Structure 1
Amino acid sequence: MLWHSLNRVLDQLRPRRQGVVMLADALLILLAWHATYLFRMGVERWLHERPSYDWAVLLGVIAVYSTVSWALGVPRASWRYSSFPDITRLAWVCLGAGLACAVVILMAQLNEVPRAVLALHPVFTLIGLSLARMTVRMLSESSRARRTGAQDNGQRALVLGAGAAAKLLIAGIQHRSWTVVGLLDDDPRKHGSRIAGVTVWGGLDLLTDRANLADVSHLILAMPAATQAQRKRVLALAAATGLPVVTVPSADELREGGTRIDRVRDIQPEDVLGREPVKLDELAVSSLISGRAVMVTGAGGSIGSELCRQIARFGPSRIVLFELSEFALYQVEQDLGERFPHLPLVRLVGDVKDLAALRRAMATHQPDLVFHAAAYKHVPLMEDDNAWIALRNNTLGTYLAAQAAAEAKVQRFVLISTDKAVNPTNVMGATKRAAEMVISHWAAQGTGTRFMAVRFGNVLGSSGSVIPKFKEQIAKGGPVTVTHPEITRYFMTIPEAAQLVLQAASLAESGQVFVMDMGKSVKIADLARELIRLSGHTEAEIPIVFSGLRPGEKLYEELLADADTTLPTPHPRLRLAQLRGELPADWLPRLMALANDDSAATPAVLRNRLHELVPEYAPR
């Protein structure tokens, strides 16, 4: 109980810890001076037979010891975690300061100060300073052992943020063998206060002093309502400490109800990138979707499944899930069934290259909107042996899905495209550019269906994305492989991409291609370094290895071709691409011939003929 009260006082003094340590050490030096006189002169004489200038000598001794102590960094060390190196440093302080004091006193001919006092005072001081630190450490460890009992697994967390989320977090995680040692918050009104029995030490700038982290094994970011810019700043401070960093769920995650505030998770790339959340025109999207039947091709993929989740929020009459992979279809169906139990789902195993299956699905279920997300998108995998398959799936599949939608009089057909369709250097990008050209063809037919495309960059956490690979490599202890030190990419989160697709669908007229505001491009190597740091490691422990550009890979991605221009839209994160001219009259027959020619399965043949269809395609 005594230590608990003392601990509270120490926590409140932590922001001024170095000054308090200097004052405590000065008091111990003073006591050691008196103890030395007592040892040398006995009880009867130790107080009365001193020189008249003894008090001035004592002040000088304290000043010398304090100066040497400060120079050697003694006040920065935490008493609660004192160790042999700390005691060694104290020994050097006492030796250096003791010699300096003895030399000055002797040179000043202050002969009434006993020589034995000058010789023994450094020893008594070292004993006093060391005993004080060892006593504090012993009491601290005893208290911690009583608090955590047998469940102490070394997880001692410093919580960043001292709001309502921190209070709920502490209440939850301390029952799961975490020990919260303190909180930091930039609000000066909270400094020194206690939340759920834990003291707010001070501001986040205390993270820059390593001594404040001596008893900390993890940092927990507990600021779910903070802006992305605020979170990015705090994460930068946290990453610089070299400690593992975890976070509570964001406000969006909590609103979705899939997690709780005390369920800490690892830092995700979207926490690092600092993008502000998308603000949807909810009324426009709701009027587009509410009460209507929506079909999503590739419904089990990363983008397709998130599209389904976002669509479900706006109350469609039903969602038709069209997916080639049985397992992926099962997964998205289970997820939607759990999140939206009253939403009717139609689950269809189907291939977008099968026109009969597409016609049957649309005739039977009569969707008002079709989002075409079915595609092969892994660049190196589609570059050689699978190039012809990529063309058939990405381009022919788009043509057939659009044809079935036109025949079924679907109101809107939205193609999910990619930044790799701009000045493509790989087969995947060229096939997606050809898919955009297919959309232009169907938009010109005057069928009554509005055909449009939405183009965006890399999506964090999607299948085939570099980020899951980085996290897996870090978990295995490295190395982390990056293709090139200068390679950059645009990134956005899966929910952000899906929401902007819905927004674009509510705005678009037929034949338009929308380009998303992807923010600033990010160096992949910098992102890898940040993830390594936030995992609590250094590049010395988990190195980055550069493996070289893969087939068809660019150093820099583009969102618009050189000759394209863009126009603003009512939504600030979307722009309208004005693409070049109409298709040649024989373009479509050449596409169909290529997609049905088995001899085109040879990669070189496919690339040459694909270049004829997509002139801006420049194979590498």
Structure 2
Amino acid sequence: MNRTAKIALMVVVDLLALPLCFLAAMLLRVGDAASAMQYPLAAYVLVPLLTVGAFSLSDLYRAVIRFIDQRMLAVTGCTLALATLSVYLILMGMNDDKFPRSTLIIYWFIAFSYVVTSRMAVRNFLRRQMNDAPQPDHAVAIYGAGEPGAQLALTMRTSNEYRPVCFFDDKRALHQRSIAGLRVFHTEHLAETVRSLGVRSVIIALPSVSPQRLRDIMERLSMVGVNTRILCRLLDLADGATPVHTVRDLKFEDLLGRQPVPPRADLFDRCVRGKRVLVTGAGGSIGSELCRQIATLAPAELHLIDHSEFALYTIRQELLGRHPELRISAHLGSVCSARLVERIFQENPIDTIYHAAAYKHVPLVESNIVVGLRNNVLGSQVIAAAAGKFKVGTCVLISSDKAVRPTNIMGASKRIAELIFQAAAAVHGPDTTFCMVRFGNVLGSSGSVIPLFQRQLAEGGPLTITHPEVSRYFMLIAEAAQLVIQAGAMAKGGDVFVLDMGEPVRIVDLARTLIMMSGLTEKTAQNPAGDIGLKFVGLFPGEKLYEELLTDGKVFPSDHPRIMRMKEHALDPGVLDTYITCLMLACNTHDRAMIASMVKAIVAEYMPQPNGAAPENPAPTVAPPDKNRPALLRSFSPHRIE
């Protein structure tokens, strides 16, 4: 039947059934059929007609019965009440004292019961007809027997993707109870229930669960060898929704032991809304995320600089697709080219700069120190000089935790970039506000350890780790970009802002968690039948065991709870210019010892490892068992900084 025919059928059935509902109400009110038939026939026609009109206003006839839900029935009940109230008011206007008006209340209950019963019966009939196809063989259990879990179970029954078989819950009071037609088992019976029911996947239906509890649940589920998925978010699952859209795989950010702080609106758009903004390294991990965040804040213009044609093209196309009204200019070239940068500034007045262009992969920069220093140091000097010359309002440098007491050229180059911005703040302070934002690794950035681990998992392992104790700070890339934008709005000049990164994470714990999330087991001396082993290869040249975010400088609070303000020691601008000139001359010689000496002269805290070697006592090649640490991460994620 087409849609018009279905609506006509529903209206006809209601016009036949509602008079009977009214008659039943009259019989209950007056007690016998003879008394009920004394009242005029018009009442038996008028009330059903008004009721059908009310149903039409509530969109009951437009609703797809197979997907009808409680909200639709609630609206129908309200409109039915309005219809009965209208009849009551009509009777009052007619001064009809003979008609028992309490009949209308009885009629509301009977008519609403009819609507609910008829629609639910048809809905269940249609669903059974559609589910005559073979049942899916993917048996799933739902962890969490609350309202979200019950709604998810009902949703799954309308699809051919999953076959829900039971609930798991930590509450003993729910053990062996039935919810949404499924038996609830306490989590103590997890292993035997999974085996007896053939459960292949468990969906965690706890949308507001804390990261700590989520890690505990995931560890428990991994021990019984089932795939784990999670309900996307706390939402009102509409009847008939597709389960594949309501559940997803667990992500690393789900296990991150810190909750992102929403941006403060007064800080977030202060340097962006209505401004002409320039982002260097716009095609990189942090640069591209900065562009996405900035584009949502209605800047007057957005200028992008990147030396990678493909990266620049990709982010430009993405921004144009999402924000076609935004004026975007893409400039292909290196920030080390003073001529290019000055031409851009001459042709396009700029209000705010976010300088994210940098080489940041520690081993590569350590092997190519000349290119790394020229890009990171000279590029920062060119941008700072141009910002001061053209009186840019705010200029923000994206720095790194590796700039704190650096042991590698990449970290030292970022510290020199900080010194350049500090010197520029001293020289151009009244006209341009310079600041630096320092943070650690972010989820989703390039040079990440997670894609490496995933490739190694696909190849059957082992996962390569430099050292059993190496640890890093991590945060979400979107939150990092938001905090960078807010930090720039709080700058007074020469500030070093340090983002709260939470607790550091051991990379070995990260690797073990990734193995577990993949439904695999670790191969160790105690478990030689495991799937994936860990292999320790020793620290890379210049790599540190632990990263730091703070030096011995003074730390002050800022207007944002996740951002600290620091005052670092600075060099005299003239002295720094001389040092950098000498450093660039040393780079021309390609003499590593001379270059390292010049870097050491500029960054007194720079402590390179002798001959770029890893520390003594190299790491073992098999991961030692760690009984003092939890199997899952206390704080989680991967990725190096842009």
Fold match by TM threshold 0.5: yes
Amino acid aligned to 1:390: G
Contact 2:152 2:243 in 1 (8 A): no
Instruction: Name the residue aligned to 1:245.
Output: 228
**Superposed CA offset, 1:259-293 (max 9, x none):** 99726443322222221112321222123322212
Judging changes above 3 Å, is the alpha-carbon distance between structure 1 residues 148 and 564 closer, same or farther for their aligned structure 2 residues?
farther
Q: What does residue range 153-552 of structure 1 map to in structure 2 within 5 Å?
A: 155-161=138-144, 162-164=146-148, 167=151, 171=155, 175=159, 177-185=161-169, 192=177, 194-195=179-180, 199=182, 201-202=184-185, 205-206=187-188, 208-214=190-196, 215-249=198-232, 262=245, 264-384=247-367, 386-447=368-429, 448-539=431-522, 540-552=530-542
1:484 Cα deviation (Å)?
A: 0.6
SS of the residue 1:391 aligns to: helix
Q: What does residue range 45-84 of structure 1 map to in structure 2 within 5 Å?
A: none
Judging changes above 3 Å, is the alpha-carbon distance between structure 1 residues 339 and 407 closer, same or farther for their aligned structure 2 residues?
same
Instruction: Name the residue aligned to 1:616.
Output: 605
One of 582, 601, 609 as aligned partner of 1:593: 582
Contact 1:454 1:515 in 2 (8 A): yes
1:330 Cα deviation (Å)?
A: 1.8
Separation in structure 2 between the aligned mates of residue 593 and residue 617 of structure 1, nearest angstrom: 17
SS of the residue 1:231 aligns to: helix
Instruction: Name the residue aligned to 2:96.
Output: none
1:184 Cα deviation (Å)?
A: 3.5
Amino acid aligned to 2:377: T
Contact 1:159 1:219 in 2 (8 A): yes
Separation in structure 2 between the aligned mates of residue 243 and residue 308 of structure 1, nearest angstrom: 39
Amino acid aligned to 1:177: E
Separation in structure 1 between the aligned mates of residue 162 and residue 565 of structure 2, nearest angstrom: 51
1:221 Cα deviation (Å)?
A: 2.9
Amino acid aligned to 1:538: T
Percent identity at matched positions? 41
Contact 1:396 1:592 in 2 (8 A): no
1:177 Cα deviation (Å)?
A: 3.4
Separation in structure 2 between the aligned mates of residue 324 and residue 183 of structure 1, nearest angstrom: 54
Contact 2:156 2:243 in 1 (8 A): no
Separation in structure 2 between the aligned mates of residue 232 and residue 377 of structure 1, nearest angstrom: 31
1:169 Cα deviation (Å)?
A: 8.4
Contact 1:231 1:274 in 2 (8 A): no
1:314 Cα deviation (Å)?
A: 1.9
SS of the residue 2:399 aligns to: strand
Contact 1:157 1:218 in 2 (8 A): yes
Structure 1: tracts of 5 or more residues without a match: 1-145
Contact 1:420 1:429 in 2 (8 A): yes
Separation in structure 2 between the aligned mates of residue 410 and residue 261 of structure 1, nearest angstrom: 49
Give the alignment's Cα RMSD to 1 decimal. Answer: 2.9
Amino acid aligned to 1:566: V
Separation in structure 2 between the aligned mates of residue 250 and residue 179 of structure 1, nearest angstrom: 21
Amino acid aligned to 2:394: R
Separation in structure 2 between the aligned mates of residue 506 and residue 286 of structure 1, nearest angstrom: 8
**Superposed CA offset, 1:233-268 (max 9, x none):** 43343334332223344579x9xxxx9972644332
Separation in structure 2 between the aligned mates of residue 474 and residue 278 of structure 1, nearest angstrom: 33
SS of the residue 2:325 aligns to: coil
Amino acid aligned to 1:577: M
Amino acid aligned to 1:571: H
1:520 Cα deviation (Å)?
A: 0.8
**Superposed CA offset, 1:291-321 (max 9, x none):** 2121111111111111111222222222212
Amino acid aligned to 1:587: L
Judging changes above 3 Å, is the alpha-carbon distance between structure 1 residues 346 and 247 closer, same or farther for their aligned structure 2 residues?
farther
Separation in structure 2 between the aligned mates of residue 586 and residue 417 of structure 1, nearest angstrom: 22
Amino acid aligned to 2:571: E
Judging changes above 3 Å, is the alpha-carbon distance between structure 1 residues 595 and 529 closer, same or farther for their aligned structure 2 residues?
same
Aligned length: 464
Amino acid aligned to 2:531: E
One of 551, 557, 560 as aligned partner of 2:547: 557
**Superposed CA offset, 1:414-451 (max 9, x none):** 00000000000001000000000001110000351100
Separation in structure 1 between the aligned mates of residue 269 and residue 183 of structure 2, nearest angstrom: 44
Judging changes above 3 Å, is the alpha-carbon distance between structure 1 residues 208 and 600 closer, same or farther for their aligned structure 2 residues?
farther
Instruction: Name the residue aligned to 1:86.
Output: none
Separation in structure 1 between the aligned mates of residue 225 and residue 190 of structure 2, nearest angstrom: 11
Judging changes above 3 Å, is the alpha-carbon distance between structure 1 residues 400 and 232 closer, same or farther for their aligned structure 2 residues?
same
SS of the residue 1:289 aligns to: coil
Amino acid aligned to 1:555: L
Structure 2: tracts of 5 or more residues without a match: 1-129, 523-529, 610-642
Judging changes above 3 Å, is the alpha-carbon distance between structure 1 residues 545 and 189 closer, same or farther for their aligned structure 2 residues?
same
Contact 1:242 1:534 in 2 (8 A): no
Contact 1:239 1:534 in 2 (8 A): yes
Separation in structure 1 between the aligned mates of residue 467 and residue 247 of structure 2, nearest angstrom: 33
**Superposed CA offset, 1:296-352 (max 9, x none):** 111111111111112222222222121111111122123223333333322221211
Contact 2:135 2:163 in 1 (8 A): no
What TM-score comes out, normalization by structure 2 length? 0.67
Instruction: Name the residue aligned to 2:25.
Output: none
SS of the residue 1:280 aligns to: coil
SS of the residue 2:274 aligns to: coil
Which protein has the bigger helix share?
1
Judging changes above 3 Å, is the alpha-carbon distance between structure 1 residues 237 and 607 closer, same or farther for their aligned structure 2 residues?
same
Judging changes above 3 Å, is the alpha-carbon distance between structure 1 residues 300 and 163 closer, same or farther for their aligned structure 2 residues?
farther
1:583 matched to 2:567: no
Amino acid aligned to 2:564: R
SS of the residue 2:193 aligns to: helix
Contact 2:140 2:199 in 1 (8 A): yes
Judging changes above 3 Å, is the alpha-carbon distance between structure 1 residues 167 and 583 closer, same or farther for their aligned structure 2 residues?
farther
SS of the residue 1:586 aligns to: helix
**Superposed CA offset, 1:454-480 (max 9, x none):** 000111231101122112222332111
Instruction: Name the residue aligned to 2:613.
Output: none
